[in-house]
Amino acid sequence: MSNNEINPSRRLVLGGLSTGVAVAALAGTARAQSAAPAAAAPQPLQDPTTKYPQPPFPRQSQEWPGLTSRMEPRPDHGEESYKGSGRLAGRKALITGGDSGIGRAAAIAYAREGADVAIGYLEQEEPDAQEVLELIRAEGRKAVALPGDIRDEAFCQQLVADAVEQLGGLDILVNNAARQQSAASLADISTQQLDDTLKTNVYAMFWITKAALSHLQPGSTIINTTSVVAYSPPENLLDYSATKAAIENFTKGLAKQVASKGIRVNGVAPGPFWTPLQPSGGQPTDALVEFGSDTPLGRPGQPAELAGVYVLLASPESSYSTGQIFGATGGNGGP
């Protein structure tokens, strides 16, 4: 029998096989299509200049360290808007200043990305802290409260030890807590204010990071909150600006020191952000009314707008970034 001559019965079998294969393939495709998740609904574009409240803001002031609940308008930390996708599943994070502001936004985002989170804060900030702890637990994640004053070296060491014990380890450290007090003149900055600012912003970062390093494994990350004032200092924040420049320098130097250990160190440099730091002495009361209006976007940032940056720097997606400073300044330059 030649190659062109096929037995009729064989032709029927082959044809049946071909049809069966085609049907099976189509059925498999249909099953795959039905099993595939529905495409997300298109998200409307949002104008960043009008996405959040713009100045002028109500005249307001608080006693330091300030509370979120007393701010008008109330800051957005992503309580309703941040959606997680498992990017930090199983991770264990310690965030200083995690009760409010940028630290609060990072804590919420980390929990929604699957991480267990410990937050450090002052006892006066307990109302804010309890809100954050409830949000973390609502995601089914472990929430650890670690109140205390990071101006004390012994407490900083205990803070890390307690975080490691209660979380069962540590692989993300966010040095975020800060003290900021406006002073019109150098003559108005007392030695006590200078000491408090340096200890809160710089000494605590040294103490906490030093205590944490022995617990960090390859793949762990350290994220330090610096500021736009590190390279563009305003005249009324001399001591605060100096500490933020120190944080930037510390970040870049430490990144080189621990790179061979597989630990990454990066910084975030926010511009004007709407947090309790501002009405509790961080800005003159009169200036707070127009806070953020001098940025190209015409408004201050909201903590929720930085959550994604802190998630990115903690995740393996940024594995080739270390010793970098990531800016979010509303358009006023960058690091």
In sign, the C-alpha dihedral spanning 126, 127, 132, 137 is: positive
Q: Which residue has the tokens 């205590």?
A: 211
With b meaning 16 or more CB within 10 Å and e meaning fewer, what string describes 225-261? bbbbbbbebeebbbbbbbbbbbbbebbbebbeebeee
Please give the Cα distance from 223 to 210 (Å, whole number).
14
Please give the Cα distance from 304 to 83 (Å, whole number).
11
Instruction: Answer for the pair 267, 223: CB distance below 8 angstroms, yes or no.
Output: yes
Instruction: Answer for the pair 173, 103: CB distance below 8 angstroms, yes or no.
Output: no
Q: Please give the DSSP secondary-structure letter assigned to residue 79.
A: T
Known catalytic residue: 310? no
Q: Tell me the two tokens of residue 28.
A: 């498999």
Catalytic residue among 52, 121, 203, 240: 240
User: CB burial class (10 A; 0-12, 13-18, 19+) of residue 47?
Assistant: exposed
For the chain, the C-alpha Rg in angstroms (whole number) is 26
Q: Give the CA distances from residue 129 to residues 140, 187, 277, 304, in Å, rounded to whole numbers and listed in that order.
A: 17, 35, 15, 17
Please give the Cα distance from 10 to 15 (Å, whole number).
8
The residues that are catalytic are 240
